[in-house]
Structure 1
Amino acid sequence: MLEGPPLRADAQRNRVRILDAAETVFAELGPGGSTEEVARRAGVAIGTVFRHFPTKDDLLAAIMKRLLTQLIAEAAELGGPDGLFRFLRDLVAQAAAKRSVVDLLARSGVDVRLPEVVSHLQDAVGSLLSQAQDAGTVSPDVALPEVMALLVSLCQGALHGGWDAGLQERTLAVVFAGLSPR
């Protein structure tokens, strides 16, 4: 999707309403969710949806970018000795809650290459890792690539594992024990 000039305030509000509605529609209806239903729930005309997102794939990619951007903001707000642990716990909960939307993205074949967003996420997670290591709550032997691999694995488990709250907690306990100093 091409980035253009900044949006007017009303256009920006419409864009946010469309993305909010799309997340809800796709979470509830999965791939059967339509752009018409998104427009209805957003309270805009279908043409408004298509002006912002010319294709359904553009809409799905924008949802993914927004989800990643929200994760970066959340990681930046956390800190201290247990920030990394809180971030991973929140991430698993969000992945489970947004399972339908993320699953739809994966099944749609949308090419969601967001290297700048992923890079910012790595920076934010790296900061949480450094803070935890400085505080002594994470082993100094743990490196960012391992944490990012755990992050992806935890999300995949939450998305596709049919996790209940008990399994989530037990899995996170194993991960946290592995991250902790020996």
Structure 2
Amino acid sequence: MTDKPLRADAARNRARILATAAEVFAAKGPAASTEEIAARAGVAIGTIFRHFPTKEALLAAIMKDVHARLAAHAATAGTLEAFFTTVVAEAAAAHTVVTLLSVDVTPALATLTDAIATLLSQDQEHQRVREDVRIDEIMALLTAASQGALAAAWSEDLQTRTLAVIFAGLRP
């Protein structure tokens, strides 16, 4: 795809395809068919492949959107605790497996990591998080907690208790 701006109808189709694909992949995993995505999005299969030449490109675009949305949320969350709570709740609700796929989202992940690092730094400055906590540890905890949210036994109570343990360990 080129960097030219999309026509309004093409932009709407692309957004609808991404939203529908995220729902279908969350429900059915990576084996979900692009034909089902096209049918649910109300577009022809060719429309999907005009925007995303392969299924992997579609998955990468979904992850890029997710990372961009999370980076924007990190910029407005106020605290690492608020950000963590939202991300883990979202992972639990979506039960998405897209994040487990081997798609290259390195630039988007770097942007997300930078946004979370800013939250970490602010929380450390305000003494809400221990000074010795590093960004790689925060990313590992966030990944683990989000992965845990995919477990069949995950519940709102377990989510609350898990986050309480994480937050207690981060506090000075």
State whether TM-score is above 0.5. yes
2:94 matched residue in structure 1: 98
CA deviations on 1:120-173 (whole Å, 9 max, x unpaired) are 111111111111111121111212221112111112211246311111111111
Runs of 4+ deviating beyond 3 Å: 29-32
Using the TM superposition, give the Cα deviation of residue 88 of structure 1 relative to its aligned residue in structure 2, in angstroms.
Answer: 0.5
Output the TM-score relative to the length of structure 2: 0.90
**Match status 1:174 vs 2:165:** yes
Match of 2:105 among 114, 117, 123: 114
Q: Distance in 2 between matches of 1:50 and 1:66?
A: 18
Which stretch shifts more, 147-156 or 83-92? 147-156
**C-alpha distance in 1 between matches for 2:2 and 2:162:** 40
| Aligned counterpart, 2:72 | 73
**Contact 1:23/1:101, CA 8 A, preserved across alignment:** no
CA contact under 8 A between 2:22 and 2:62: conserved in structure 1?
yes
Whole-angstrom CA distance in 2 between matches of 1:32 and 1:116: 25
| Equivalences for residues 49-60 of structure 1 within 5 A | 49-60=48-59
Q: Does 1:140 align with 2:131?
A: yes
Comparing 35-44 with 8-17, greater Cα deviation is found at 35-44
Residue 115 of structure 1 aligns to which amino acid in structure 2?
T
Match of 2:154 in 1: 163
Report if aligned partners of 2:64, 2:105 keep a CA contact under 8 Å in 1: yes
Count residues in correspondence.
172
Give RMSD over aligned pairs. Answer: 1.8
C-alpha distance after superposition, 1:85-118 (max 9, x if no partner): 010111111111222343xx63xxx531222111
Shift of 1:20: 0.9
Alpha carbons of 1:149 and 1:29: their partners in 2 closer, same or farther (altered >3 Å)? closer
Structure 2 gaps of 5+ residues are none
Structure 1 gap ranges (5+): none
Query: What is aligned with 1:24?
Result: 23
TM-score (norm 1): 0.86
Paired AA for residue 82 in structure 2: R
The residue identity in structure 2 corresponding to 1:117 is A
User: What residue is the counterpart of 2:81 in the other structure?
Assistant: 85
Whole-Å Cα distance in 2 between the matches of residues 176 and 133 of structure 1? Answer: 13
Aligned pair in 2 of structure 1 residues 114, 31: CA closer, same or farther (>3 Å)? closer
Contact 1:26/1:33 (8 A) holds in 2: yes
Counterpart Cα distance in 2 of 1:12 and 1:96: 29
> Are residues 73 and 8 of structure 1, via their aligned partners in 2, closer, same or farther at CA, if it must alter by over 3 Å?
same
Identity of aligned residues (%): 54
